Amino acid sequence: MGAAPAVVLLSGGLDSATVLAIAREEGFATHALSFDYGQRHDRELDSARRVAQALGAARHLVLRLDLRAIGGSALTADIPVPQGRTVEAMGAGIPVTYVPARNTIFLSHAMAWAEVLECQDIFIGVNALDYSGYPDCRLEFIEAFERLGNLATRAGVEGRTRLRIHAPLIRLTKAEIVARGAALGVDYGLTWSCYAPRPDGLACGRCDSCLLRAKGFRAADLRDPVPSAP
Ligand SMILES: [Zn+2]
């Protein structure tokens, strides 16, 4: 018998790349799932493709899903991305980069694919420590979704599979995530975190995602292979 399949949500960022490496390390045949959801730039999808290949995903599915038609976020509508915020400010409220119900939408698709694959394990790179205050990155949300998954699917109701949502980064700092991924051989040079790349292609260095990433590499005492604007 081959390795058990797992569906891994893969954005192309640092966290999800680390999670893909963890799922592989745990012996799963990884089925990476990314979304072309109308995000402002397709840089992160290119990264997702490269990361999936580099980390030996058995399959990589990119689903199209036009969240721009819904909007409501700086990542899917013409709303400026906040720049230069402190980590304290990031923790103080839910910013405009929040995409309405994004992780619920993504996990729902992951759950559907998992049911077809007869797979009971879904991995997601949410993190509740060094994050932007998104409500769908909290442990309570993940636990609630796992319950929902077991009520919502034929596989769950017939008792053939018991869905588990793995969120291995949930209690890690960004530095711990980077250190873990580096130990597992993740090439962070393939990943992309910036919400607002500059016209010259560099990461902006000032959005929440860039700042959290920089903080992680600094605290882990590692160099970020992806250059950002000075
Ligand atoms: Zn940025």
Centroid of ligand 1 to alpha carbon of 173 (angstroms): 19
Q: Are 194 and 156 in contact (CB under 8 A)?
A: no
Answer yes or no: are the C-beta atoms of 43 and 209 closer than 8 Å. no
- Cα-to-centroid distance, 107 and ligand 1 (Å): 25
CA distance 200 to 19: 29
Q: Residue 14 is encoded by which pair of tokens? A: 């640092």
How far apart are the CA of 69 and the centre of ligand 1, in A?
24
Q: How far is the CA of 229 from the centre of ligand 1 (A)?
A: 9
pLDDT value, residue 132: 67
Separation of 204 CA from ligand 1 center, angstroms? Answer: 4
Q: For tokens 């923790």, name the residue.
A: 91
Q: Which amino acid is at 154?
A: R
Ligand 1 center to 163 CA (angstroms): 35
Q: What is the 3-state secondary structure (H, E, C) of 26-93?
A: CCCEEEEEEEECCCCCCHHHHHHHHHHHHCCCCEEEEEECCHHHCCCCCCCCCCCCCECCCHHHHHCC
| d(CA 13, ligand 1 centre) in Å | 12
Closest CA to 197 of 34, 12, 6, 30: 12
- Tell which residue, 58, 166, 60, 62, has the closest CA to residue 120: 166
Residue 161 phi, psi (nearest 5): -135, 155
The vertex-186 CA angle with 172 and 167, nearest 5°, equals 35
Ligand 1 centroid distance, CA of 44 (Å): 12
Contact criterion met (CB below 8 Å) for 55 and 188: no
User: How far is 51 from 13, CA to CA, in rounded Å?
Assistant: 9
Ligand 1 center to 151 CA (angstroms): 39
Q: State residue 136's pLDDT score.
A: 84
Those residues of the chain that have pLDDT short of 70 are: 1, 130-132
* 67, amino acid identity: L
Q: pTM of the predicted model, to two decimals?
A: 0.93
Q: What was the pLDDT predicted at 153? A: 86
Q: What is the pLDDT of residue 1?
A: 61
- Show Cβ contacts of residue 25 under 8 Å, excluding neighbours closer than 6 positions: 184
